[in-house]
Structure formats: C-alpha cells, structure tokens
C-alpha cells in the first residue's frame, strides 16, 4: 500500500469514528430533551464533523445559519404564498438568496433551501414551532460534533506516512 493510501484509510477511519460518536451523542441528547425529530440532531452532527476543529466550527456556522434562514423564510412565505410547487420553488429560491446576501457559503444556502421547502410543504399548520425545533435540534447536533472534535486524533497524517 502506498503512503497516500495509508493516510487516506487512517483519515477515513478516524472521520467515520468521530461522525458516528457525534451522531450517537446528538441523537441521545435530543431524545433526552424530548425532540420530536432527533434525527435532525444526528444529521447535523454528521454533516459538521471533521478532523479539523476549525473546519468543524466553520461547517457548524454554515449549518446553523442555513437552518435558521430556511426555517424563517419558509415560515414567512407561508403567509403570502399559496401551497404548491411554485411556492416551494420560490421558498427555496428566496432562502438561498437570503443566505447568499449574508455571504454564507453555498453549503448554508443548500440547507436553507431544503429547510424552507420542508416548512412550506410539511409544516404549514405550525411553521414557527417547526423552525424553533429544527434550530435547537441542529444546535444539539453541532454541539455534539464540536465536543467530539475535542478528542485528539489517535494517528496524525505524518505518523501514518511514517508507518508505511
């Protein structure tokens, strides 16, 4: 095996372990706090987990911003748009444009778009409750990923190269 292959395998294994630990922790905490959809905490944990704590923090900010912008945009547009595919498209477009106006990364815009669509499509009866729930569940997932990110890596890239 080449040194590059060994490094990639070690990196992939460590990232997988961290993501799994963060997801399990997020799901457990969200369930203990009575989340209706603890799966969103789990998803947020997996998405923001990285081997670099700095990158995890950057991803966390993008994920949280996208979630909040999407939920608020979708909830607001429910008051002015009729239900249907055009409304969904406008909600996605609007949420993504707001995210870009605030100069967040494209990953935040994607999250904002799909959260806005979910609010418009599935949570018309109580959009603000859904927005609040997604925000705190996402925050639980982000917090779990950041906590797991504090655990030192067991093998650094340099050490993996030397082992080959």
Residue among 147, 151, 152 at smallest CA distance from 45: 147
Q: What is the mean pLDDT of the chain?
A: 89
Task: Give the H/E segment covering residue 129.
Answer: helix 127-148
Distance CA 146, CA 22 (A): 8
Model confidence over 35-80: pLDDT tens digits?
999 999 999 999 999 998 899 999 999 999 999 999 999 999 998 9
Distance CA 78, CA 121 (A): 9
pTM for this predicted structure? 0.82
Model confidence over 99-134: pLDDT tens digits?
999 999 999 999 999 999 988 888 778 889 988 998
Between 127-148 and 53-77, two packed helices, what is the crossing angle to 10 degrees?
Answer: 180
Domain positions in the chain are 3-163
Query: What percent of the chain is predicted at pLDDT more than 70?
Result: 89
């Amino acid at each position: 095996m080449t040194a590059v292959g060994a490094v990639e395998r070690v990196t992939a294994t460590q990232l997988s372990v961290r993501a799994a630990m963060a997801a399990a922790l997020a799901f457990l905490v969200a369930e203990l706090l009575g989340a209706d959809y603890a799966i969103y905490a789990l998803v947020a944990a997996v998405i923001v987990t990285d081997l670099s704590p700095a990158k995890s923090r950057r991803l966390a900010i993008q994920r949280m911003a996208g979630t909040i912008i999407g939920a608020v945009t979708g909830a607001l547009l429910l008051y002015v748009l009729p239900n249907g595919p055009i409304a969904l498209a406008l909600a996605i477009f609007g949420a993504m444009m707001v995210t870009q106006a605030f100069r967040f990364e494209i990953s935040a815009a994607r999250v904002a778009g799909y959260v806005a669509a979910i609010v418009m499509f599935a949570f018309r009866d109580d959009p603000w409750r859904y927005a609040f729930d997604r925000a705190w569940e996402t925050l639980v997932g982000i917090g779990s990923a950041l906590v797991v990110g504090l655990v030192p890596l067991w093998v650094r890239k340099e050490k993996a190269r030397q082992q080959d």
